[in-house]
Amino acid sequence: MAAHAKQAQQLARQLFRLSLADGAVSPAKVTGVLEYVEKHRPANPIMVLKAYERLIATELGRSQALVEHAGAVSEDVLHSIAAVLGKRYGRTLTATTRANPALIAGLRVRVGDDVYESSVAGQLASLAASV
Amino acid sequence: MSTVLEQIEQQIAKLSSHAVKKNTGNIRTIADGVAKIDGLSDVMYNEMVSFPGGAIGIALNLEEDEVGCVILGDVSQLKEGDEVTTTGRLLSVPVGKALLGRAVDALGNPVDGKGPIDSKETYPVEKIAPGIIVRKSVTQPLFTGIMAIDSMIPIGRGQRELIIGDRGTGKTTIAIDTIINQAKANQVGLASGDPKFRPVYSIYVAIGQKNSNIVRTISALEAAGALQYTIIVAAPAADNPANQYLAPYSGAAMGEWFMENGLDALIVYDDLSKHAVAYRQISLILKRPSGREAYPGDVFYLHSRLLERSARLDGKGSLTALPIIETLAGDVSAYIPTNVISITDGQIFLETDHFNQCIRPAVSVGLSVSRVGSSAQIKVTKQVGGKLKGELAQFRELAAFAQFGSDLDAKTKGQLERGARIVELFKQPAFSPVPIELQVAILFAMQKNFFDAIDTKKVVAAAAAMKEFFTTRKDTLLTEIRTKAALDKDLEAKLQAACDEWKSGYTA
C-alpha cells in the first residue's frame, strides 16, 4: 500500500511538472494531462489524480490572494492588496474575496500557506492564547 | 492632557492595525499521535506547530509536499482538514530552581497538583552539546552513598555512568540512593557554611514507567527529605510516545540550566531502553526506514546527542548523567545496550544471580567499570579501598575453583574468607546511602582486619553496629575525615583507636 502511494505520488509530481508553463499552471496543459491519464490509465488512477489535484490546488493557491472580510471591501483596497503581496512574492496575484462575518471586523488574506491576519477575531484569539 | 491620550490611542491604533503573518497547513491524515500535514511551507525542523484546541506538535519529517508532526497532548479533538500554524519557536521548557521539589511532564507543566511553577526562564529542549574547548576533565567526585560503587567504581561530576541490568535487579534503587545521598550531603554541606561546598541538584526522568512506580519513587525521595533538591520529569507509560521521546531532552535542558549557572546537577534517565522503544514507534509511524530490531538508523544519535549534553564546563558547573538500560537475560550485547555502553564513560552492571543470592546492591565487580571516575576519587577512598577490586576479583576466581574440592591451603582459605567478608560488608539496604566518611571508617576497619574475628554471616550486623558507633560517638572524627579527605598518620591513629574502642565494646 505504501509503495503504491509513493508511486502514485511520484507520477502525480511528473504530471504536475508537465502542467506548468512559464512557472504557472496552464489550463491547456492540464487538459492535455487529463486526456493522457484517461487514455493511458496508470495503476491506481484515483490516487494519482487526487495527488495531482492537490499539487495543482496548492500551486493555484500560491498565485491567488483570498481576501476574507467582515464588512465591505472596495475594489481599490483589493487591487492594492494584490499589488503589495504580488511584489512581496515576486509574482502576479489575483485577488478574490469571501465574506466572513466570524472575523467581526477587519481582513484576513491568504496566499498559499501564508495567512495575514488583521481582524478583531484574530486579535481576540491571540489575546486568549497569551492570557 | 487630551493630546497625550490621543498619542496613546494613535500608538494603540498603529499596533492593532498591524497584520500578523502566519504560515499554515491542513491535517491530511492523523493516526497514533502523528499527523501528516499539507502546507506549512515555512516550517523548520523541530519547530513547534500549533493545532486547534491548544495541542502542540513538533515537525519531525519535512518532506517535499507534506510535513510529519508528532503531537504532544490530547489528539482526540483533532480531525482531517484542521488548520495547523507554525509558531517560529523551538520547543522549550521552564528551567531554574523553581522546579525543585516538583513533578512535571515532558513539557515542563506541573503534574503534582501543587499549583503553577514560577519559572522565569526557558531553555530549548534540543540543544547542541558543549564543544571541546569549554569542557574540563572530570576531577570532582560524586558520591553515590553505595560502598561498592564509591570504593571500586567511582563516579565524577560531569561523568556519564550507565546502570545496566535485567528487570528487578535494583537499577532504579541505585539511582534513587544516589539522589538521596546528594540531598543528605547538601543538607550537611549547606548547614556547615563551607563556602567551597558545591551542592548537587538532581533530576529524575521517568520514561515509560508505571504511574504507581513513579509515585513510589516520589514517596521515597520525600521520605528521605530529598525531594526539595530534585525535579521529577514524568512521561509514564500512559503518555503518548512523543512525550516519552521528549522527556529526557526536557530533563537535560533543566539540568543544563544548573550547569550553565555554575551549579552541579545529576540527571537520571530511567530508562533509555523504553526511550528507544518510544522513538522506534514514532519513527515507524512516520514511515522512516527501519534497521536492526526495527529501530531507525539514527537511534545511536538519539542517545549520543542526549548523553553528550552531560559535561563539566570550564568555569561553570557540571551535569552528571546516570542513564539506565534494561537488558534481557543479561544480554549486554543487544543493540541498545551496546550503543549506550559505547557512549557512556563506564557502566555499573547488576547481576540477577547476585540479587537472588541477596547480594544487594547486585553490582558485578568484574563487569562494572568507571573510565574517568578514578581521577575524581578522593585520596582517602583510594587509601582504604584501593585494593578491594583486586581482592574481590581474586575471591570470585578462587570461589569458582574451590567448588571442585575441599582441600585448600591456609592461604587460599584466608583469601576466600576475606572475600566473603568484603561481599557481606558491601551489602546495603535500599534507600540508605552511607556518607563517604562512614564508608572510609568501615573500609579502614576491613583493611585492618577488624572483621576477621567475626563470623561471615554476622558481618552485616557488625558493620551496622560500627556505623551506629561512629555516627553517634565519633562525629568529630567523621567530620575530620570529610574535611581532610586524606589519611595522614594522625587520622590513621585516631581511626585505629576508634576501631579498637568499637571492638572492645562489640559482642557478636
Q: CA-CA distance, A121 to A127, in Å (whole number)?
A: 10
- How many other C-beta atoms lie within 10 A of the C-beta of residue B479? 13
Are B18 and A118 inside 8 Å of each other by CB? yes
Give the residue from chain A lying closest to B24, CA to CA: A113
Cell of B383: 587509601
Contact, B331 vs B341, CB < 8 A?
no
* Residue in B371, B396, B418, B473 annotated catalytic: B371
Angstroms from B83 CA to nearest CA on chain A: 10
Partner residue facing A54 (CB), from B16, B38, B85 = B38
How does strand A106-111 pair with strand B264-270?
unpaired
Lowest mean pLDDT, pick from B62-76, B119-133, B135-149: B62-76
From B18, B20, B41, residue closest to A112, measured CB to CB:
B41
Q: Which has the higher per-residue pLDDT, A24 or B492? A: B492
Contact assessment for residue A25 and residue A55, using Cβ atoms and an 8 Å cutoff: no
Of the residues B20, B27, B64, the best mutation for testing chain A's interface (the one with the most A CB atoms within 10 Å of its CB) is B20
Other CB atoms within a 10 A radius of the CB of residue B86 amount to 22
| Contact partners, residue B408, CB within 8 Å, separation at least 6 | B402, B416
Compute the half-sphere exposure of residue B259: CA atoms within 13 Å on the CB side of its CA: 29
Query: Choosing among A56, A81, A113, which should be mutated to test the B contact, i.e. which has the most B CBs within 10 A?
Result: A113
The Cα–Cα gap between A45 and A31 comes to 16
Nearest to A113 among B16, B18, B23 (CB): B23
* pLDDT grade for A131, boundaries at 50, 70 and 90: low
Task: Evaluate whether B467 touches B439 at the Cβ level (below 8 Å).
Answer: no
- A89 membership: H or E segment, kind and range: helix A75-89
Interchain contact, B40 vs A113, CB within 8 Å? yes
Do residues A47 and A75 touch, judged by C-beta distance below 8 A? Answer: no
3-state secondary structure of B207: strand
Residue at B217: amino acid letter: T
- pLDDT attached to residue B315: 94
Over residues B415-428, mean pLDDT: 91
Nearest chain B residue to A113, by CA: B24
**Which residues of B are less than 8 Å from A113 in CB distance?**
23-25, 39-42
Chain A contacts of B40, Cβ < 8 Å? 113
* Cβ pair A113:B64 closer than 8 A: no
Mean pLDDT throughout B251-262? 98
> Over the stretch B364-388, which tens digit does the pLDDT of each residue have?
988 999 998 788 899 999 999 888 8
The residue-averaged pLDDT of B138-153 equals: 95
Residue in A with minimal Cα distance to B39: A113
Active site residue B371: yes
Helix (H) or strand (E) holding A78: helix A75-89
- Residues of chain B with Cβ-Cβ distance to A119 below 8 Å are none
d(CA B234, CA A58): 41
Does the pLDDT value for residue B431 go beyond 90?
Answer: yes
**Average of pLDDT values for B269-282?**
96
B68, amino acid identity? G
User: What pLDDT is recorded for position A97?
Assistant: 92
Name the pLDDT band for B109 (thresholds 50, 70, 90): very high
If you measure CA to CA, which chain A residue comes closest to B54?
A129
Rounded to an integer, what distance in angstroms lies between the CA atom of residue B100 and that of residue B123?
A: 16
Q: B15: pLDDT confidence band, cut at 50, 70 and 90?
A: low
Q: Which residue from A13, A109, A113 is facing B25, i.e. has the nearest CB?
A: A113
What is the mean pLDDT of the segment spanning B253-279?
97
Q: In this predicted model, what pLDDT tens digit does every residue of B312-328 receive, in sequence order? A: 999 999 999 999 999 99
Give whichever of A53-57, A74-78, B324-328, B411-415 has the largest mean pLDDT.
Answer: B324-328
Decide if A13 and B38 are in contact by the 8 Å CB cutoff. Answer: no
In this structure, the strands spanning B67-72 and B34-39 are antiparallel
Please check whether residue B478 is in contact with residue B448, taking contact to mean a CB–CB distance below 8 angstroms: no
Give residue B209's pLDDT band: very low, low, confident or very high (50, 70, 90): very high
Residue B480: Cβ within 10 Å count: 16
- Cβ neighbours of A115 in B, within 8 Å: 21-24, 85
**Which residues fall within 8 angstroms of residue B111, CB to CB, at 6 or more apart?**
B103, B104, B105, B234
Residues in chain A within 8 Å Cβ distance of B21: 114-117
d(CA B407, CA B413): 9
Rg from Cα positions in chain B: 27
pLDDT of residue B349: 96
Q: Give the gap in angstroms from C-alpha B22 to the nearest C-alpha of chain A.
A: 5
Task: Provide residues of A within 8 Å CB-CB of chain B.
Answer: 2, 9, 13, 54-55, 58, 107, 109-110, 112-118, 122-123, 126
State the Cα–Cα distance between residues B141 and A17, nearest whole angstrom. Answer: 64
pLDDT digits (tens, 9 = 90+) for B471-507: 999 999 999 999 999 999 999 999 999 999 999 988 8
Give how far B85 is from chain A: nearest CA, Å: 9
**Percent share of chain B, pLDDT over 70:** 97
pLDDT attached to residue B47:
93
Neighboring chain B residues of A114 at a CB cutoff of 8 Å = 21-24, 42
Closest CA to A97 of A119, A117, A79: A79
Smallest CA–CA separation between B39 and chain A, in Å? 6
pLDDT class of B74 with cuts at 50, 70, 90: confident
| pLDDT value for A2 | 67
Q: Which residues of B touch A (CB under 8 A)?
A: 16-25, 38-42, 64-65, 85, 287
Contact B145/B435 with Cβ under 8 angstroms?
A: yes
Instruction: State the average pLDDT over residues A95-118.
Output: 91
What stretch of H or E contains A115? strand A114-119
Q: Percent of chain B at pLDDT above 90?
A: 81
State the first-to-last Cα distance of chain A, in angstroms, to the nearest integer: 46
Q: Which of A85, A75, A82, A124 is nearest to A102 (CA)?
A: A124
Mean pLDDT across chain B, nearest whole number?
Answer: 92
- Phi and psi torsions of B492, nearest 5°: -65, -40
pTM equals 0.89
Beta bridge partners of B185: none
| Cell 504560515 belongs to residue | B23
The stretch B17-39 carries a mean pLDDT of: 88
- H/E run at residue B229: none
Cβ neighbours of B25 in A, within 8 Å = 113
What is the spatial distance between Cα B448 and Cα B499, in angstroms, rounded to a whole number? Answer: 9
- A98 vs B409, which has greater pLDDT? A98
* Inter-chain touch B287–A58, beta carbons under 8 Å: no
Residues on chain B touching A117 (C-beta within 8 angstroms): 19-22
- For an interface test with A, give the residue of B16, B65, B286 to mutate (most A CBs within 10 A): B65
Distance of CA A126 to the CA centre of its chain: 25
Per-residue model confidence (pLDDT) at position B84 = 95
Average pLDDT over residues A23-41: 90
